[in-house]
Amino acid sequence: MIEILSPPQIDRARATGALVATILRTLKERATVGTNLLDIDRWAKEMILQGGAESCYVDYAPSFGRGPFGHYICTAVNDAVLHGLPHDYSLRDGDLLTLDLAVLKNGVAADSAISFIVGEARPAQSVELIEATERALAAGIAAAGPQARIGDIAHAIETVLTEAGYPINTEFGGHGIGSTMHQDPHVPNTGRPGRGYALRPGLLLALEPWVMADTDELAIDEDGWTLRSSTGCRTAHSEHTIAITDDGAEILTLPL
């Protein structure tokens, strides 16, 4: 299903996106050396409920996971990159942590992910991975607009990641979003310009470039959810929810 939102729905999406952004910013500030991933999940739950929203994850049970997910946020550390199931792990200095959060509020969902380094140590490879996904996300957003196609966004993301020297996995990418978290159209991180679905004002998309340092192959954890690099290399993931407007694209998942 491809859903085109009305102006009142877009207004509600702004509020949902701001809540997601605020929660992620707060969790980033709280995530220090020694913080347990289960505490991050608990804090996320508390802030989601305080914000009058509901989790898109806790009851999520897609075909590719061993569901339901049962937690409120995805926490991926170092070689983990997607669908990181919170577990009993205390963060260490220099860990690369990705937080991925989606909530539903007033009938509209928003989805965002951030990657950052915990503590004082700043491994060069981790910094480069994070910055590449952030540049790719910015390029994808810049390519979006009412005259664009999905392939334009995908190609812009691919160009940045390829120039940075990273292989690109094509199994998972961005997606439409609206009254539910995952909708059509699929937004891959590779593509050909001028191809694919034509964007329209009112369409919401979650764009999410992610990379693994030296492989495009994933391995699934014993938990049935967490996806890791097959070689054990580090990974990074950046994501925003955007709204297609008459003038271009508006980022919804920014803090107020």
Question: How large is the greatest C-alpha to C-alpha distance in the chain, in angstroms?
Answer: 48
- What's the pLDDT at 250? 98
**Contacts of residue 252, Cβ cutoff 8 Å, sequence gap at least 6:** 13, 14, 16, 17, 18, 110, 204, 240, 241, 242, 243
What's this model's pTM, rounded to 2 decimal places? 0.97
Phi-psi region of 52 (alpha: psi -120 to 50; beta: other; left: phi over 0): left
Taking only the tens place, the pLDDT of each residue in 102-133 is: 999 999 999 999 999 999 999 999 999 999 99
Pairing of β 249-251 and β 74-77 = unpaired
Taking only the tens place, the pLDDT of each residue in 175-223 is: 999 999 999 999 999 999 999 999 999 999 999 999 999 999 999 999 9
CA distances from 157 to 16, 52, 120, 201 (A): 25, 34, 30, 21
- C-beta neighbour count of 8 within 10 angstroms: 10
- What's the pLDDT at 67? 81
- What's the pLDDT at 256? 72
pLDDT grade, residue 64 (50/70/90)?
A: confident
Buried b (16+ CB within 10 A) or exposed e, 52-67: ebebbbeebeeeebee
Q: Where are the domains of the chain?
A: 7-251
- What's the pLDDT at 119? 97
- What's the pLDDT at 255? 82
More confident residue, 256 or 45: 45
CATH class in words for 7-251:
alpha beta
Residue with tokens 């991925």: 100
pLDDT grade, residue 43 (50/70/90)?
A: very high
Whether residue 167 contacts residue 216, with contact meaning beta carbons closer than 8 Å, is answered with yes
Taking only the tens place, the pLDDT of each residue in 148-166 is: 999 999 999 999 999 999 9
